[in-house]
Amino acid sequence: MTLVVENLSKSYGDTNVFSDISFALEKGEILCIRGKSGQGKTTLLRCLNNLETLDKGSIKINNRYLCKEVNGKVNYASQQELKVIRQDIGFVFQSFNLFPHMTVKENLLLAPKFLKKLSNDEIEKKADELILKLDLSTKSDNYPYQLSGGQKQRVAIARACMLSPSILCFDEPTSALDEETMGQISKIIKELAAQGIAIIIVTHDSAFVEEIGGKVITLKN
């Protein structure tokens, strides 16, 4: 099992965000998490990516525990283990979070060159392949401000794919996109799933949920 989530709970002070959420995901599966704004969808994604800490529950990615609840306390993996585990899960943010002072290609190269898992030539080759695959060849030397919303989304997806994650999380991937661009993003996500990547999508767009298929979790109250 690629991802196993057990009894996740998260609060901010006295405000309960979500309680006792459990699910599992195999490679190549697509999971849509839907609900109205403020229901905790993005917070759940951030917990899966270790950008927020949990109050309760366990998260296991490729048989490694990101965190595990023992005797009512959530214990997180060591910093060394977290470094490995976090490379298995990618996050495409709603606001893209591209580095504005870097070109499209530079955005793709930064993390893998820092981590040095591949040679520079291999990293460059992978970036070029993703740029070509996601129809960004004419934008490789452009900066984020020179791109449309759909192009920024594709760059963010390419950047997340550079580390070859087992799981890819999308926060509102169709937000503010037109229908044609939404169709392109849907196609890309399905292709990623067909390659064996487990996909988690947070969305309030019911039409997109129907289009993309897969499992559905609805957060409510």
On the question of pLDDT at 221 being above 80, the answer is: no
Specify whether the CB–CB gap between 79 and 35 falls below 8 A: no
Q: What is the pLDDT of residues 58-112, one digit of tens each?
A: 999 999 999 999 999 999 999 999 989 999 999 999 889 999 999 999 999 999 9
The interaxial angle of helices 179-194 and 149-161, nearest 10 deg, is 10
Specify whether the CB–CB gap between 69 and 7 falls below 8 A: yes
Predicted confidence band at 35 (pLDDT cuts at 50, 70, 90)? confident
Q: Are strands 64-70 and 56-61 parallel, antiparallel or unpaired?
A: antiparallel
Task: Please report the sign of the dihedral spanned by the C-alpha atoms of residue 197, residue 35, residue 40, residue 173.
Answer: positive
CA 203, 206, 210: angle at the middle one, nearest 5? 105
Residues 6+ apart with CB under 8 A from 62: 2, 85, 88, 166
Residue 37 confidence (pLDDT) = 81
Q: What is the pLDDT of residues 133-191, one digit of tens each?
A: 999 999 999 999 999 999 999 999 999 999 999 999 999 998 878 888 888 889 999 99
Residues 6+ apart with CB under 8 A from 37: 204
On the question of pLDDT at 132 being above 90, the answer is: yes
Query: Tokens for 205?
Result: 């767009």
Query: Tokens for 136?
Result: 């960004």
Residue 62 confidence (pLDDT) = 96
Closest among 187, 66, 34 to 42, alpha carbons compared: 34
Main-chain phi, psi angles of 148, to 5 degrees: -80, 170
Specify whether the CB–CB gap between 213 and 30 falls below 8 A: yes
Q: Is 5 helix (H, G, I), strand (E, B) or coil?
A: strand
Residue 153 confidence (pLDDT) = 92
